[in-house]
């Protein structure tokens, strides 16, 4: 909407305009005679700016249609709720757009205000950031002129001409991403069910100044042990959780439950209902209850409990992490190590940046970058990998075996990198560390990378047909111990069967419990491992999906190390 249109006609519901006049004791006749301190245009604009629904319709566009933005009916109450709210919603019901619209409304209508949008990981924030940028520079470009600066490192921040700012901060494993931030407009937590460490919530609530509206959103995951679950249940029952009083203070939360069944056609229909029943295995299945109905469903539990995980977090002097992210024209490189500090007798990794720069694609050399960053280490080494493409990241981990101890000494994170470069990355790690073997998740991306390694002429002579093994995580295996010896079920005296994913997970967990599995103080490791959950299924454990790429790389590495020759003939492509 152009501001000039407000001068020509009434652009808001007539009853709202009448109510505004009546609240001041004014009349239409006084307005027409010019006797009021505000003009017709100014009155309309004031009403629009006070109401996020009207403001969104006036200044934002629907990304799908390009028309003025319209909320679905079930969203209106939450959007207009100026208090503290908590959501337990189905998937893809409008959370991202509500968050994006609200934070833009807050920034543009209250100069000098500040907002924090937090989430367990950066990946959970990317869609919100992209949505806001799309609104400001493509759908409603007149808004983009007010964005004076977009800071991207180490975390995204929007700075506006009216001195408002919006922080987008991943929490880190203990809430470090929220420290030093104090906001007065909104404090928003996305994907709240994935926040498992209570310390994160302490830092999040501390960032909100008095009067700041706190908004918490998530699809439930069934974990009844989290702060999110307790906050949600207290709000749903309209009862205060006394044990959380110190955390929340006197704040009261209003509970909202957006179900996919509330959506209008074609987003919800009988055909869609049947699709989701088939997808999740029935209306009573946990997946259907969570993703369609926004309910908890059957309980899930942490795969790597915090008290067990912390025993594995070590000050690994050799550990280095290299992140390579490209958009096709430029490449951002960040290489770090983590120095050990102690907080409350708990080891905490302080990030030490070794390299942080952006290069053009033409001037970037993967080989020079990797060989200049990592140091060769002797010993028995295995490499595990989980591959992706486009926005889905790839993770490669390097494990040193020291006696009975498994020690992760290096990690490579790739994003936006094609399959050929991913294969080159494997080959360069081979040059640096000379691994005994490589184990990869044999999904779509993994099978493509394995095919290149085992069939491309430039890798001839490296023995990748024998050394590189792909594992289908859903494939069934006989249960084995860490030495590869088959484990018999004492009840049947026969080998038990497990999926490759469960077998690898069980082996990793046992090594943790024995203090024989050393993981770095890398926040990405800590966040992924601490938020990973599972539930019991009819055919074994069913693990949560999403932010688990590093875990899957460790799983693949474990299978390659433990199974070794036992399954190599079955899974070596081209053998």
State the greatest distance between any 2 C-alpha atoms of the chain, in Å, as a whole number: 96
Q: Dig out the tokens for 179 from the structure.
A: 């420290």
Please check whether residue 454 is in contact with residue 481, taking contact to mean a CB–CB distance below 8 angstroms.
no
Residue 429 has pLDDT above 90, yes or no: yes
pLDDT at 7: 63
238: left (phi over 0), alpha (psi -120 to 50) or beta: left
Q: Looking at residues 499-512, what average pLDDT do you find?
A: 95
pLDDT at 15: 81
310 or 84, greater pLDDT: 84
CA distances in angstroms from 423 to 41, 419, 444, listed in the order given: 61, 6, 14
pLDDT surpasses 80 at 239: no
Helices (H), ranges, 81-120: 95-109
Calpha distance 489→498 (Å, rounded): 12
Mean pLDDT of 476-482: 89
- Whether residue 172 has pLDDT greater than 70: yes
The pLDDT assigned to 343 comes to 64
Tell me the C-alpha to C-alpha distance, in Å, between residue 296 and each of 180, 187, 480: 33, 24, 34
pLDDT tens for each residue of 186-237: 999 999 999 988 899 999 999 999 999 999 999 998 888 889 999 999 998 8
Q: Minimum mean pLDDT among 58-72, 282-296, 437-451: which range?
A: 282-296
* pLDDT-based confidence at residue 292 (cuts at 50, 70, 90): very high
DSSP assignment string, 271-326:
HHHHHHHHHHTSTTSHHHHHHTT----S--EESS-HHHHHHHB---TT-EEEEEEE
pLDDT band at 436 (very low <50, low <70, confident <90, very high): very high
Picking from 48, 68, 44, 52, the residue whose alpha carbon sits closest to that of residue 135 is: 68
Determine the pLDDT at residue 94: 95
Q: What percent of the chain has pLDDT over 70?
A: 94
Q: Is the pLDDT of residue 472 over 80?
A: yes
**CA–CA gap between residue 124 and residue 139 (Å, rounded):** 22
Query: Do the beta carbons of residue 399 and residue 436 sit within 8 Å?
Result: no
Q: What is the pLDDT, as a whole number, of residue 370?
A: 98
pLDDT digits (tens, 9 = 90+) for 304-324: 987 788 889 999 999 999 999
DSSP-derived secondary structure letter, 91? T
End-to-end CA distance of the chain: 64
Q: Which residues pair with 150 in a beta bridge?
A: 158
- Give the number of other CB atoms < 10 A from CB of residue 39: 13
Q: What are phi and psi of 186, to 5 degrees?
A: -135, 145
Of residues 46 and 424, the one with the higher pLDDT is: 424
> How many degrees, rounded to 5, is the angle at CA 522 between CA 516 and CA 526?
70
Q: Which pairs from 109-112 meet CB under 8 Å and 24+ separation? A: 109/49, 109/50, 109/55, 110/164, 110/185, 111/162, 111/163, 111/164, 112/162, 112/163, 112/164
**Mean of the per-residue pLDDT values of the chain:** 90
Q: Is the pLDDT of residue 243 over 90?
A: no
Checking if the pLDDT of 573 tops 90, the result is no
449's tokens: 């990378």
3-state secondary structure of 405: strand
For the range 489-496, what are the long-range contacts, defined as Cβ-Cβ under 8 Å and sequence gap of 24 or more?
A: none
**169 secondary structure, DSSP code:** E
- For residue 92, the 8-state DSSP code is T
pLDDT over 90, % of the chain: 66
Half-sphere exposure of 134 toward its Cβ, with a 13 Å CA cutoff?
15
DSSP state of 176: G
Angle of CA points 92, 146, 140, to nearest 5°:
45
CA 131 – CA 222 distance, rounded (Å): 28
Instruction: Please compute the mean of the pLDDT values over residues 106-116 and round it to a whole number.
Output: 97
Name which residue leads in pLDDT, 502 or 238: 502
Tokens 């990793």 map to which residue?
508
State how far the Cα of 354 lies from the Cα of 342, in Å rounded to an integer.
22
Q: Residue 280: what pLDDT?
A: 84
* Contact predicate 544/221, CB 8 Å: yes
pLDDT over 90 (residue 145): yes
Q: Which of 30-44, 163-177, 204-218 has the lowest average pLDDT?
A: 30-44
What is the Cα–Cα distance from 278 to 288, expressed in whole angstroms?
A: 9
The closest of 550, 512, 516, 514 to 531, measured between CA atoms, is 550
> Rounded to whole angstroms, how far apart are CA atoms 391 and 389?
6
Interior angle at CA 77, CA 76 and CA 80, nearest 5? 85
CB atoms within 10 A of CB 32: 10
Res. 390: pLDDT tops 80: no
Please say if the pLDDT value at position 516 is more than 90.
yes
Q: What is the DSSP string of 199-251?
A: HHHHHHHHHBPTTPEEEE-----S-TTSHHHHHHHHHHTT---GGGHHHHTT-
| Residue, of 422 and 311, whose pLDDT is higher | 422
Among 257, 157, 181, 274, which Cα is nearest to 216's?
Answer: 257
Residue matched to tokens 């989430």: 119
Q: How confident is the model at residue 242 (pLDDT cuts 50, 70, 90)?
A: low
Cβ neighbours of residue 164 under 8 Å, at least 6 residues apart? 106, 107, 108, 110, 111, 112, 113, 114, 115, 185
């Amino acid at each position: 909407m152009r501001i000039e249109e407000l001068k020509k006609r009434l652009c808001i519901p007539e009853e709202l305009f009448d109510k505004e006049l009546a609240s001041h004791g004014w009349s239409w006749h006084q307005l027409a005679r010019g006797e009021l301190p505000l003009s017709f245009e100014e009155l309309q604009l004031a009403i629009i700016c006070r109401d996020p629904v009207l403001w969104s319709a006036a200044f934002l566009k629907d990304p799908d249609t390009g028309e003025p933005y319209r909320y679905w009916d079930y969203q209106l109450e939450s959007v207009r709720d100026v208090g503290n709210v908590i959501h337990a919603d189905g998937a893809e019901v409008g959370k991202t757009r509500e968050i994006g619209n609200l934070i833009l409304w807050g920034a543009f209508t209250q100069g000098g205000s500040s907002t924090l949008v937090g989430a367990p990981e950066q990946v959970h924030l990317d869609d919100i950031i992209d949505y806001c940028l799309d609104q400001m520079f493509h759908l409603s470009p007149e808004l983009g002129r007010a964005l004076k600066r977009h800071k991207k490192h180490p975390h995204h921040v929007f700075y506006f001409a009216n001195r408002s700012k919006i922080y987008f901060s991943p929490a880190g494993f203990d809430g470090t991403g929220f420290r030093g931030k104090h906001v007065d407009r909104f404090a928003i937590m996305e994907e709240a069910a994935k926040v498992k460490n209570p310390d994160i919530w302490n830092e999040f609530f501390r960032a909100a100044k008095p009067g700041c509206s706190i908004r918490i959103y998530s699809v439930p995951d069934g974990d009844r042990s989290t702060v999110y679950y307790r906050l949600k249940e207290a709000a749903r029952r309209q009862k205060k959780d006394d044990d959380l009083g110190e955390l929340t203070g006197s704040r009261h939360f209003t509970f909202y439950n957006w179900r996919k069944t509330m959506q209008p056609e074609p987003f919800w229909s009988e055909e869609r209902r049947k699709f989701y029943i088939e997808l999740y295995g029935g209306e009573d299945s946990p997946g259907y209850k969570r993703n369609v109905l926004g309910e908890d469903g059957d309980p899930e539990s942490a795969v790597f409990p915090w008290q067990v995980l912390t025993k594995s977090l070590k000050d690994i002097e050799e550990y280095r992490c290299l992140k390579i992210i490209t958009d096709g024209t430029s490449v951002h490189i960040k290489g770090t190590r983590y120095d050990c500090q102690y907080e409350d007798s708990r080891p905490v990794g302080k990030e030490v940046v070794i390299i942080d720069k952006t290069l053009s694609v033409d001037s970037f050399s993967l080989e020079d970058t990797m060989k200049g960053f990592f140091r060769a280490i002797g010993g028995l080494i295995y490499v595990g990998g989980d591959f992706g493409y486009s926005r889905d990241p790839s993770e490669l981990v390097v494990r040193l075996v020291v006696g009975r101890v498994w020690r992760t000494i290096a990690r490579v994170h790739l994003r936006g990198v094609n399959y050929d470069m991913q294969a080159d990355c494997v080959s360069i790690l081979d040059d640096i560390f000379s691994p005994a073997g490589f184990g990869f998740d044999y999904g779509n991306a993994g099978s493509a990378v394995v095919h290149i390694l085992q069939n491309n002429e430039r890798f001839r002579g490296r023995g990748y047909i024998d050394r590189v093994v792909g594992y289908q995580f859903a494939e069934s295996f006989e249960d084995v111990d860490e030495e590869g010896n088959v484990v018999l079920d004492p009840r049947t005296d026969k080998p038990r069967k497990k999926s490759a994913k469960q077998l690898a997970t069980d082996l990793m967990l046992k090594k943790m419990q024995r203090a024989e599995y050393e993981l770095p103080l890398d926040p990405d490791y800590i966040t992924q491992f601490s938020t990973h959950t599972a539930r019991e299924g009819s055919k074994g454990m069913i693990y949560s999906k999403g932010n688990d790429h590093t875990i899957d790389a460790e799983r693949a590495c474990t299978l390659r190390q433990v199974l070794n020759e036992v399954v190599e003939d079955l899974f070596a492509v081209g053998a």
